[in-house]
Amino acid sequence: MKFCDECGSMMKSGEGEDHWVCDSCGYEIGRDDGDDEWTTESQVESEIVDVSDAEDKGLPTTTAQCPECDNDRAYWYMQQIRSADESETRFFVCTECEHKWREDDH
């Protein structure tokens, strides 16, 4: 990733990927050999780790009634799913059947 020396915006690879181009102000600069060590997310290979049968999910637990199996314990976490000026939504995951639901679901 490279930032524009003129306006500070993030630069992107230009045609042929031999130079950087700023979308905001049009400033261009050649790519150095050291720039090759940076990769984009699509170029990075990731390893998928299966933790579905792990005992501890690393999440806090609370008393919550599962709508699927009536278990009374659930993991919970907060996630921002709306715009930044809206409050976060609390999600629950049953400790027994792993059913997932939101706090405002009925």
Q: Is 10 annotated as a binding residue?
A: no
Q: Is 94 annotated as a binding residue?
A: yes
Q: Is 7 annotated as a binding residue?
A: yes
Coil, strand or helix at 49: coil
Which runs of E-coded beta strand occur in 42-102? 61-63, 73-79, 89-94, 100-102
Cα–Cα nearest to 26, from 43, 49, 4: 4
Q: Is 25 annotated as a binding residue?
A: yes
Q: Which residue type occupies 78?
A: M
Q: Is 32 annotated as a binding residue?
A: no
Q: Is 66 annotated as a binding residue?
A: yes
Q: Is 69 annotated as a binding residue?
A: yes
Cα–Cα nearest to 11, from 34, 35, 33: 35
What distance in Å separates the CA atoms of residue 104 and residue 91, rounded to the nearest whole number?
9
Q: What residue numbers does the annotated binding site for Zn(2+) cover? A: 4, 7, 22, 25, 66, 69, 94, 97
Q: What residue numbers does the annotated binding site cover? A: 4, 7, 22, 25, 66, 69, 94, 97
